[in-house]
Chains A and B, each alone.
Chain A
Amino acid sequence: MIYKETGQYKSSYKSDHAIFPLLQDKIAFSTLMFIAFLIIPFVINSYWEKAILVPFLIFSLAAIGLNILTGYCGQVSLGTGGFMAVGAFSTYKIMTYFPDMNIMIIILISGLITAAVGIIFGLPSLRIKGFYLAVATLASQFFLVWLFNKVPWFYNYSDTGQITVSERTMFGIPVTGAEAPSYATYLFCLVLVVTLSFAAKNLIRSKMGRSWMAIRDMDIAAEIIGVPPLKTKLSAFAISSFYIGVAGALYFAVFLGAIEVTESFDIMTISFPVLFMIIIGGLGSMLGSFLGAAFVVTLPIGLKFLMVDMVGLSAVTAKHFEITIWGLLMIVFLIVEPHGLARLWSIAKEKLRRWPFPY
């Protein structure tokens, strides 16, 4: 009864095509946006910013990017870390070449550069699929990280290979660098994430999104009905890389501030976790990207809080438990709900629709 659809008539195509066709969803979403934009900025502190909210937003963006490629277009990729590194290093190079350019523009350009790189590394997808493609993208991960570590031009010949962000402002308030206030970095990321999520959601509902799904479901059939594989696959690679590139740029400029490519964009710190996010969250689901990112970012912190601060275990014992619980949860998830958290949510919605009269 909570999710009652009866009585909500759609009398125009516009209302039928709305992103949130149900009134309940609209209310829930507006409340969420109200809290995110108008309440959190006033109560946020640097712990919530640096440990939870900003990483959550950035990884949501990366997860959306990978979900476009893997969840919607069916092309498995393990190159997320490499593409995020492209975004980060583009931001760094543009920042040092054009000190007066607005940071928002720099980040979007970095996304475009990553998209171009993504197209190049997407070319093999025309010939190979599945596991073989995964290996090819894995190669891009290793190649890109190696490149940014090997060629000193990328890190401006610094002695240590570290790149460090300098301060940039939006409307006079710093959003990068150590002096940036918590609400500013949070809002900056939030605005980008919300705008780009809406763009992605609409892209997926457009012709382009439908051709991605056609390729995912059966590429030969798709080709026969007139979906061009070259254009479709490469557009998926380009748009996915754009999102991942923007996420990488934010990860470097807003979140960490100083980065070393081998450590920060390692396959174990980025590529696999982002893949887990979309698997846990739900392949081919926008909501799933967010839920997965929230799960992967907050689970270790939540477990640590529970075990160290509440129960009083030593930090190292808690870490060992955390690693074990993490592995167990992955297995349990894949067995119990292979379609991820997004599917759990839709089951819950179904139940709420019938409540309190289950049949």
Chain B
Amino acid sequence: MRIKQLLIGMTASVIAVSSYVEMAIADLKFPMLVYRTGAYAPNGIPNADGFVDYYKMINARDGGIGGEKILHPECETGYKTQVGVECYEKNKKDAMVFQPMSTGITYQLIPKATADGVTVYSTGYGRTSAANGKVFKWIFNAPVTYWDGASIAVRHILKNNFGNIKGKKIALVYHNSAYGKEPIRTLETLSKKHGFKLMLLPVDHPGQEQKATWLKIRKARPDNVLMWGWGVMNQVAIKSAASIKFPMDKFIGIWWSGSENDVLPAGKGADGYKSLTFNAPGTNYQVHADIKKYVHDKGQASGDGSHFGTVLYNRGLFQAMVQVEAATVAQKIHGTSKITPAMYRDGMENVNLSAKRLEELGFKDFAPPFKNSCENHGGSGLAAVQQWDAKAKKWNMITEYMYGDSDVVQKLIAEDSAKYAAEQKIAERCN
């Protein structure tokens, strides 16, 4: 009896597997590496929901990209590098693009994806020097890099101090990992240029323990604090800053440290906290209306649908939009709807999101226009500052989109990518 049941079970599972394999052939595959569990889940969930809702909306509204349905298998990484590798190997066949959503996994995938011929799109994170398309053929990090981010934050501080920050003290509270260390060199260069003192305060993974960090800040009284945090680290830092009564408008986070999840736990104390951003919050855009109509109203929202319109959800929409747009461009260039991963890369390299194109896509005034090219995989380099209003529970944009210190940043990018090219023996393209 038992053996019979076992046999039936096995046959059923074999059928299930073979049908799964067949299903995956015809469409465009956009594998997703997500983390809805672990210490980084509070940020990982809204972002992943944004992606899924956008893909579902495109499938429902336009019947896919140029008639090809989007497949978006999820693979849960828990923000762990080793699991990320497993997920990549599992999904890389015929995959258009990977969005690792983790600096560690991005560093892992850069050589692997380059060897396999798969596009990696790390939207505003990952390895900053990947902006140099001459060296990093398969890697894109548009629209803005961490080094732009660091110099935009310094520019904002400069503006608030009437252009003079000589002798001022700026502290950097950072996630003690490749991600958090990214801006250090830029900030060091800028500190020499503008004459401010830089104070480095690492916070170890996962970031719940920050007592010592904020005690130091209370003692040293820096004029400004910058933060490169992610996951629970953001919440704890903002709460700690509020509890030592650090002036919140002097506290600026990177774009990954400025979502609702980060400020809400600190309650009123978080009022006035600033962060950089490269996309607008809110739900007043055509794309949100479409998602509401085609996805949410049909009860197909990803997750519980509660993150609709939050900062990271909207960023997920933006990231997914760029990935879909790259496929559209690739289809146009190669004159076929059935694009290969190599054709997709050409599409990503020729993405041109002008203000007009953004409006057509339902993203009018949602993000600054940007454009990729053979040399430049880093986009426009534009970001703005937003500020949290704790009473209205809402982020407000307080500046225009601005450029970073491109003299400093471009020089550092050229240096770092040249180093990588020499190590890996890569010849420059686009010449």
Contact = CB atoms under 8 A, between A and B. Distances in A.
A50 B89 contact: yes
A51 B89 contact: yes
| Residue picked from A50, A162, A266, A316, most chain B C-beta under 10 Å | A316
B184 interface: yes
Interface in A42-62: 46-47, 49-51, 55
A258 B78 contact: no
A310 B15 CA distance: 9
B199 interface: no
A346 interface: no
Contact of A260 (B17, B86, B89, B107): B107
A314 B82 contact: no
Given A257-B108, A301-B86, A262 B176 contact: yes
Contacts of A304: 76
A55 B82 contact: yes
Contacts of B182: 159-160
Contacts of A266: 205
A50 B74 contact: no
B343 to A, nearest CB: 22
A162 B75 contact: no
A91 B101 CA distance: 29
Nearest to B127: A160
A interface, by DSSP: helix, strand, loop or mixed? helix
Contact of A314 (B74, B83, B85, B185): B74
Contacts of A318: 76
B81 interface: yes
Given A50-B85, A263-B81, A266-B205, A256 B108 contact: yes
A162 B111 contact: no
B90 A178 contact: no
A316 B37 contact: yes
A323 interface: yes
Interface in B295-309: none
A162 B107 contact: yes
Contacts of B416: 159
Contacts of B407: none
A262 B205 contact: yes
A260 B177 contact: yes
A151 B298 CA distance: 55
A149 B176 contact: yes
A319 interface: yes
Contact of A47 (B36, B90, B127, B178): B90
A319 B17 CA distance: 20
Interface in A306-322: 309-310, 314-316, 318-320
Nearest to B86: A51
B169 interface: no
| Residue picked from B37, B82, B181, most chain A C-beta under 10 Å | B82
Contacts of A282: none
Interface string A243-263: 000000000000011101011
A160 B16 CA distance: 44
Interface in B24-71: 34, 36-37
A178 B178 contact: no
A228 to B, nearest CB: 40
Contacts of A100: none
Interface string A53-84: 00100000000000000000000000000000
Interface string B85-108: 110011010000000000110011
Interface residues of B, number: 43
Contacts of A262: 176-177, 204-205
A166 B177 contact: no
A161 interface: yes
Interface in B164-211: 176-178, 181-182, 184-185, 204-205
Interface string B287-323: 0000000000000000000000000000000000000
Interface string A275-317: 0000000000000000000000000110010000110001110
B431 interface: no
A162 to B, nearest CB: 5
Contacts of B89: 46-47, 49-51
Contact of B111 (A258, A300, A301, A320): A258
Given A47-B90, A164-B423, A319-B37, A256 B82 contact: yes
B423 A319 contact: no
B181 A161 contact: yes
A179 B117 CA distance: 12
| Residue picked from A256, A301, A315, most chain B C-beta under 10 Å | A315
A149 B175 CA distance: 12
A52 B90 CA distance: 11
Contacts of A177: 111
Contacts of B204: 262
B13 interface: yes
A269 interface: yes
Interface in B412-431: 416, 423-424
B266 to A, nearest CB: 26
B212 interface: no
Contacts of B16: 309-310
A160 B181 contact: yes
Nearest to A260: B178
Contact of B36 (A161, A269, A301, A319): A319
Interface of A: 46-47, 49-51, 55, 149, 159-162, 164, 166, 177-179, 256-258, 260, 262-264, 266, 269, 300-301, 304, 309-310, 314-316, 318-320, 323
Interface of B: 13, 16-17, 20, 34, 36-37, 73-76, 78, 80-83, 85-86, 89-90, 92, 103-104, 107-108, 110-112, 114-115, 127, 176-178, 181-182, 184-185, 204-205, 416, 423-424
20 contacts: A51-B85, A160-B181, A164-B107, A164-B111, A257-B108, A258-B107, A260-B107, A260-B177, A262-B205, A263-B104, A263-B205, A264-B81, A269-B82, A309-B17, A315-B74, A316-B34, A316-B37, A316-B76, A319-B36, A320-B37
Given A161-B181, A262-B204, 18 more contacts: A50-B85, A50-B86, A51-B89, A159-B185, A161-B178, A166-B424, A177-B111, A258-B108, A262-B177, A263-B104, A264-B82, A266-B205, A301-B86, A309-B20, A310-B16, A314-B74, A315-B36, A319-B37
